[in-house]
Amino acid sequence: MGRMSGKRAIITGAGSGIGRASSLLFAQEGAQVLAVDLNESVHETAELVRKAGGQVDAMTADVGNEADVRAYVARAMSAWGGIDAIFANAGVGGGALPLGEQTPEQWMEVLRVNLIGPFLAVKHASVPMIAQGQGSIVCTASVAGLRANAGGHPYSASKAGVISLVQTTANSLTGTGVRINAICPGLIETGMTRATFDYARSRGTSDRIGQLNPMLRHGVPSEIAHMALFLASDDASYVNGQAIAVDGGLSSTHPFKRRRT
């Protein structure tokens, strides 16, 4: 028996990085997965899941568009008749322009995908969960939502917003049996951070990546997928309204000069 045996789970941002790793892990642990992404690469994820023996459906959708969110929830409901978990994980980086060069349009697009996307996932996926009397919602925030210097202004604000969405929603779902939590990843090697890693490798400085956390390394997508699996599963039955950092300890410290022992 897998830890998601008999569970029906939607995963957004499943075409790459953390969402792809989570699709593979959830299916390996027995979940039926609906993989969702704006990019056609979501079908490659589905192929990987199937090759590994998992049960998966895949579709393209824009998580910040309410009609698309209704469509992915409707697809899950017509296939399964219920939804046990949703991992609202899709996101964009939004760049790191100086404050004076940022525009409301750039801010609105980052907020639309990174914050309105999870809001719409919560709004629509919670309906069948409330009717069932159980369900788990997991949203991807970031250490950038906890404090400065892990992303641009709109990115950080969007991720702080996700943490607030999780806290406020946990309370508005009081008594329903539906839990909601956020994951705050540190630096993970994915499509979103590829340019940073490629640049460091091209300069021969990749050994410096991740040196700001006490584990002295970056993370990999499966390390976030394992937290998503825990939160989505019944193992986390009393975990609710939390923003959990999975960052090698990055967010645990004040700035200081690190000494190796």
Ligand X SMILES: NC(=O)c1ccc[n+]([C@@H]2O[C@H](COP(=O)([O-])OP(=O)(O)OC[C@H]3O[C@@H](n4cnc5c(N)ncnc54)[C@H](O)[C@@H]3O)[C@@H](O)[C@H]2O)c1
Stretch that binds ligand X, among 10-18, 199-207, 230-238, 249-257 (CB under 6 A): 10-18
**x/- site string to ligand X, residues 95 to 134, per CB under 6 A?**
------------------x---------------------
- Provide, rounded to whole angstroms, the least separation between the CB of residue 154 and ligand X: 12
For the chain, first and last CA: distance in Å? 42
Identify which of 7, 26, 70, 10 has the alpha carbon closest to the alpha carbon of residue 227.
Answer: 26
> Looking at residue 39, what DSSP letter applies?
S
**Contacts (CB under 6 A) with ligand X, residues 41-100:** 62-64, 89-92
- Provide, rounded to whole angstroms, the least separation between the CB of residue 64 and ligand X: 5
Stretch that binds ligand X, among 15-23, 25-33, 126-134, 228-236 (CB under 6 A): 15-23
Distance CA 198, CA 205 (A): 10
Beta bridge partners of 55: 32
Stretch that binds ligand X, among 14-22, 120-128, 164-172, 198-206 (CB under 6 A): 14-22
Identify which of 244, 248, 222 has the alpha carbon closest to the alpha carbon of residue 23.
Answer: 222
> 54 vs 94, which CB is nearer to ligand X?
94
Q: Is 72 a catalytic residue?
A: no
Identify which of 62, 6, 9 has the alpha carbon closest to the alpha carbon of residue 225.
Answer: 9
- Provide, rounded to whole angstroms, the least separation between the CB of residue 19 and ligand X: 6
Identify which of 94, 31, 93 has the alpha carbon closest to the alpha carbon of residue 57.
Answer: 31
> 130 vs 244, which CB is nearer to ligand X?
244
Is 154 one of the binding residues for ligand X (CB under 6 A)?
no
Which residue from 9, 18, 25, 228 is in contact with ligand X, where contact means CB under 6 A?
Answer: 18
- Provide, rounded to whole angstroms, the least separation between the CB of residue 6 and ligand X: 26
Coil, strand or helix at 237? coil
Coil, strand or helix at 61? coil
Distance CA 123, CA 228 (A): 19
Which residue from 8, 9, 11, 16 is in contact with ligand X, where contact means CB under 6 A?
Answer: 16
Identify which of 161, 173, 181 has the alpha carbon closest to the alpha carbon of residue 132.
Answer: 173
- Provide, rounded to whole angstroms, the least separation between the CB of residue 58 and ligand X: 12
Identify which of 122, 124, 227, 106 has the alpha carbon closest to the alpha carbon of residue 166.
Answer: 122
Which amino acid is present at 62? D
Distance CA 155, CA 141 (A): 10
> 91 vs 248, which CB is nearer to ligand X?
91
- Rule CB under 6 A: which residues touch ligand X? 12-13, 15-19, 37-39, 62-64, 89-92, 113, 140, 142, 185, 187-188, 190-193
**Catalytic center residues:** 155
